[in-house]
Amino acid sequence: MKTRYFFSIILLLGAILLVAGCNSFHKKVKKPNIILILADDLGWKDAGFMGSKYYETPALDALAASGMSFTNAYANAANCAPTRACLLTGLYTPRHGIYTVNSSARGKSAFRKLIPIENTSILDTSFVTIAEVLKANGYTSSSIGKWHLGNDSIGLPQSQGFDENIGGYHLGHPKSYFSPYENPYLPDGQEGEYLTDRLTWEAIDFIERNKDNPFFLYLPHYAVHTPIQARDSIIEIFRNKEADGKHCKPEYAAMIKSLDDGIGKLVKKIEELEISENTIIIFMSDNGGLGLVTGMEPLRGSKGMLYEGGIRIPFIVSWAGKIKPSTISDIPVAGTDLFPTILKLARIKPPKELVMDGVNLKRILLKGKEILQRPLYWHFPAYLERHKGIKGVWRSGPASAVRIGDWKLIEFYEDSVIELYNLKEDIGETNDLSDKYPEKKDELYKLLNDWRKETNAPVPTETNPEFDELKYQEFKAKLSHLMTL
């Protein structure tokens, strides 16, 4: 009898241990949730943690303080669609052909010296996206917000591995930030509802529905792209606030504040659900700020340019318990690094044949260590006009750029002009060193050239017969005071 009793106890203990073991095993292998928040056109300094004294971003500041922020982070392009294509595929622009938004031949033909390379507007569904790889590994995913890589018939989020699409279609900006939105993928809310708030609620709803599964929330906010529209009560906060350089527009500041409020609510929800330690939150912008509404100083240029103001962005990665709080990294990183980074952090092996142009940042994020120095590239074989009213001179003509370490080279194809900068000593790209350091110039130029060959990057070489040099020079001279916008 005693022996039977003894064995029963042993069996019971064994069962308890087995269940406990399974539980801890289950806990161990649970994949982290991924939240990727992409702001649209938010400039490098358009947040408190990046140095603005005008814009108010307590939630982003707290997010940065909870994890790691980067001072040398880049978008893979200077405008919206190409950055998104690079982010989702992990590939540089020549590999998917999305170089710009809509036509690559924007502006007056008489002012375009070269025939640009034709642009692709839809991300081909044959590309493997991060959502597809995560889906194959048990993730549920939603794209909530701006898509800009497909249209009603092809290429929307569900054809690229997302389970849901809320509000994403071909347009790169909302018709209105206030409901009715006239967006076929976002049912209108109550009249006057604000789009940024709505996307936050949708994102929170998705998280609540999927809190027990590994989820991938891609939250590409429409904010703070034009039209510049904000809630009156928030605009009021900034009415009489002292400007900080070009940070001075209450409406734009209010758009940023709504974006920030939403991020605060989202983070709070993650904490309430007690999933912080299993949730990686990434925040970044898709390109530099728009020159007409904000300033990137001390960086040169703005959205649309390959100067730093067009491509350098705020970038945060937060993961409670894993990434040391309040760390700042100055290692150059880019959007293409996210695909391999997310897979690595989620312990997912990439499909064998998959080409990825970025590197995984796990060493930096989890260990605070360096990674091997590598070049970053940009390729823009297109024309992008300046803002309304000052059309005719380009924000960007056909150009490519490479950065390695502190050095950056830009090649402008129209006149084979090459500029070389040392960003450590000259963050504002004011001092072209191409004549002073010919060896450095050759070294970077070789890198760029080899990369173009490797990626089959098409370079515009054909002269535009409609080009009118004289008229163009006259026009440029007249508008030279606006060249930095």
Binding site for Ca ion (CB under 5 A): 40-41, 80, 286-287
Q: Is 370 helix (H, G, I), strand (E, B) or coil?
A: coil
**Residues 166, 172, 173, CA angle at the centre, nearest 5°?**
80
> Considering 86, 96, 148, 221, which one is annotated as catalytic?
148
- Return the C-alpha torsion angle 90, 92, 93, 97, nearest 10: -70
Choice between 83 and 129, CB closer to Ca ion: 83
Q: Tell the smallest beta-carbon distance from residue 150 to Ca ion (Å).
A: 17
Total Cβ atoms within 10 A of residue 269: 17
> Considering 80, 86, 225, 247, which one is annotated as catalytic?
80
Nearest C-alpha neighbor of 376 from the set 50, 170, 75, 142: 75
Phi/psi for 313 (5° steps) reads -140, 155
Distances (CA, A) of 322 to 219, 268, 363: 22, 18, 12
Beta carbons within 8 Å of 434's beta carbon, 6+ residues apart: 409, 418, 419, 420, 441
Choice between 77 and 114, CB closer to Ca ion: 77
Choice between 288 and 381, CB closer to Ca ion: 288
Q: Tell the smallest beta-carbon distance from residue 29 to Ca ion (Å).
A: 37
Catalytic (active site) residue 22: no
Choice between 40 and 46, CB closer to Ca ion: 40
Q: Cβ(378)–Cβ(398) under 8 Å? A: no
Residue 379 pairs in a beta bridge with: 400
Choice between 148 and 249, CB closer to Ca ion: 148
**DSSP assigned state of 32:** P
Q: Which residue is nearest to Ca ion (CB)?
A: 80
> Token match 């991924």: residue?
34
Choice between 286 and 411, CB closer to Ca ion: 286
Catalytic (active site) residue 80: yes
Query: Pairing mode, if any, of strands 68-74 and 333-334?
Result: parallel
Q: Is 383 helix (H, G, I), strand (E, B) or coil?
A: strand
List, by residue number, the catalytic residues. 80, 148
